[in-house]
Structure 1
Amino acid sequence: MGSIDDLVRDLRRFEQRKEVTRALRKRIREPVPGVRKAIRRRALDTLPKGGGLNVWASKTRVSAKVSLAGRGAGVKLRGTRKSGKGKADLRRLDAGKVRHPSWGRRGPGQWHVQQVEPGFFTKPAVEVDQWRDACLKAVDEALEVIRRGR
């Protein structure tokens, strides 16, 4: 079993690295639909149902960015969601805090922060074992292709 460091080092010297990296990125992104489902399921199960926050958060767009550059090599999962006047603060929601108006009043000083269960986004992303398995398998396959010289 190879490591990502071995792969990055060997890729630099390999002539057909574009084909290998394209296949590697595709392979690493395969579990993303499963991660999306896990995030949606957790949002629906753990976030408050009153007002529809759980349904709203379950519609978060999830994408994966695969980086194979030196020490920064890895996979970064990103969630985005639009709100009424721009982007929503999903990081804060994932940290367990929701800001909303008191009794529908939206004026200055009439908003408050409510605690909710943290980790609707990060916990499912970390708990999905198929993600780790797919990454390890993709790295091993790419190293095998490089070592065979194709």
Structure 2
Amino acid sequence: MGSLDDLIRDLKTFERRKDITSLFAKEVRKSVPSVRAAIKRRALDTLPKGGGLNVWVSKARVTARVKLTGRSAGVTLKGSRKSAKDKSDLKRLDAGVVRHPSWGRRGADQWHTQTVEPGYFTKPATEVDQWRKAVDTAVDKALEVIRRG
């Protein structure tokens, strides 16, 4: 079983780099729907139900970015959701802080913060075994192709 570091090292000297990168990305992205479902379940279960925050957050878009070059090589999951004016701060919500208007008033000084259970996104993303298995399988397949030539 190879590691991601082995794959990155071996890719540097391999001629058909793009083929391997696309094969790796395709293999990794197979598990994204199960991770997305786990994140959605966790958001529905742990975030506040009043006002529909849990339902709204559960509809966030979850994408996987696969990068095998440079210093930030790896697989990155990203969640995003448009709000009325701009993108919402789902990262801060995942940290356990939500900001909302008091009783529907939206004036500058009428918002307050509320703590919620942190990790609606990061916990399921790291706990899903299928995710780790997919990355390991993708690394092994890519290394096998490289070593066969």
Judge same fold: TM > 0.5, yes or no.
yes
1:7 Cα deviation after fit:
1.0
Amino acid across the alignment from 2:112: H
Contact 1:8 1:70 in 2 (8 A): no
For 1:62-108, what per-residue CA distance to the aligned partner results, in whole angstroms no more than 9, with x for missing partners?
00000101442210100010111111110111111111111111112
Matched, 1:123 2:123: yes
Which sections of structure 1, spanning at least 5 residues, go unmatched? none
Q: In 2 relative to 1, CA 106–70 (structure 1 residues): closer, same or farther, beyond 3 Å?
A: closer
Distance 1:109 1:80 in 2: 26
List 4+ stretches of structure 1 deviating above 2 A: none
Matched, 1:137 2:148: no
For 1:26-74, what per-residue CA distance to the aligned partner results, in whole angstroms no more than 9, with x for missing partners?
0011110001100110000001111000000000000000010144221
Q: Give the TM-score taking structure 1 as reference length.
A: 0.95
Aligned to 2:94: 94
Amino acid across the alignment from 1:120: Y
Q: Give the TM-score taking structure 2 as reference length.
A: 0.96
Matched, 1:23 2:23: yes
Which sections of structure 2, spanning at least 5 residues, go unmatched? none
Q: CA RMSD in A?
A: 1.0
Distance 1:4 1:92 in 2: 29
